[in-house]
Amino acid sequence: MSPITETALGVNVMTSSTPPQLTKRQREVYELLKSVFREQGFGPTIREIGDHLGIPNPNGVVCHLKALEKKGLITRGNRLSRSIRLVEAGDLPGAIAVDGNVRGGCCVPASPDEAGLPIDQLFSAGTRRFLRVADDSLSSCQIVAGDHLLVDPEASPRDGGLAVTASGQILRTRYLAGGWHFETFDDKNVSDDATLDGAVIAVIRQV
């Protein structure tokens, strides 16, 4: 039986108890990462991995790291130096592999090196929070009752996106004539210099 991990939305995610299959070189990289983390508490740089394992081309190291990330063993954060993190047992998977792209209603196989969806980054705790949509007031944005808005107070608004004010209003954000313009979903007026309390970075829907 596979263990069950509960996500921020209470959705049960099945995680396989069978370790993923690794090539000899991927295993060497993974074992090196574990060793470095045990010794110094943080991961090595790409150059350090290459030097230790005799991989002269940094792109070769990156390919192995991408493979480990797709197999859910590590995450690479924002790709900055020393941003590698090991995914411990019971964690959310670091990234769920993108197996295909939907075009014209059909699934087309994805490129082997296509980056996975960084689940652990998206649902990292910190100051991010969920807002549950209770009605269809946001239906013009294809957001309906039962959806959840993931709000990041540190994220910047984007053109055509959604933001939340300090008073709790949900706004559509537009960048017009060199400045931000905010539109409400009700009859209340809002100033274009309203204080924002975060931007919506994802919409989660259970089907």
Q: List the structure tokens of 107.
A: 């699934």
CA angle 148, 152, 157 (to 5 degrees): 100
Give the pLDDT band (50/70/90) at residue 126. low
What is the average per-residue pLDDT within 62-90? 75
Q: Reduce the DSSP state of residue 121 to 3 states and report it.
A: helix
Count CA atoms closer than 13 A to 196's CA, side-chain side: 25
Q: Which residue has the higher pLDDT, 23 or 193?
A: 23
Rounded CA-CA distance 171/1 in Å is 45
Q: What is the pLDDT of residue 61?
A: 92
Whether pLDDT at 110 is above 80: no
pLDDT digits (tens, 9 = 90+) for 140-155: 889 999 999 988 888 8
Q: What is the CA radius of gyration of the chain?
A: 21
Rounded CA-CA distance 110/136 in Å is 34
Q: What is the pLDDT of residue 51?
A: 93
Q: Which residue has the higher pLDDT, 69 or 115?
A: 69
pLDDT digits (tens, 9 = 90+) for 27-42: 999 999 988 888 877 7
What CATH fold (topology level) applies to the domain 129-204? Umud Fragment, subunit A (2.10.109)
Q: What is the pLDDT of residue 29?
A: 93
Strands 106-109 and 129-132 come out as unpaired
Whether pLDDT at 178 is above 70: yes
Q: What is the pLDDT of residue 97?
A: 66
Q: What is the pLDDT of residue 13?
A: 35
Dihedral sign from CA coordinates of 91, 93, 122, 137: negative
Q: Is 4-122 a domain of CATH 1.10.10.10?
A: yes
Q: Where are the domains of the chain?
A: 4-122, 129-204
Dihedral sign from CA coordinates of 53, 59, 61, 64: negative
Whether pLDDT at 191 is above 90: no
Percent residues over pLDDT 70 in the chain: 72
Q: Which residue(s) pair with 129 in the sheet?
A: 151
**CB neighbour burial string for 99-128, b if at least 16 within 10 angstroms, e if fewer:** eeeeeeeeeeeeeeeeebebbbebbeeeeb
- Residue 36: phi and psi, rounded to 5, are -65, -40
Whether pLDDT at 2 is above 80: no
- Mean pLDDT, the chain, as a whole number? 77
Q: List the structure tokens of 197.
A: 């309390």
Whether pLDDT at 124 is above 80: no
Q: What is the pLDDT of residue 32?
A: 92
Q: What is the pLDDT of residue 187?
A: 63
For the packed helices 46-53 and 24-40, what is the interaxial angle rounded to 10 degrees? Answer: 120
Whether pLDDT at 62 is above 60: yes
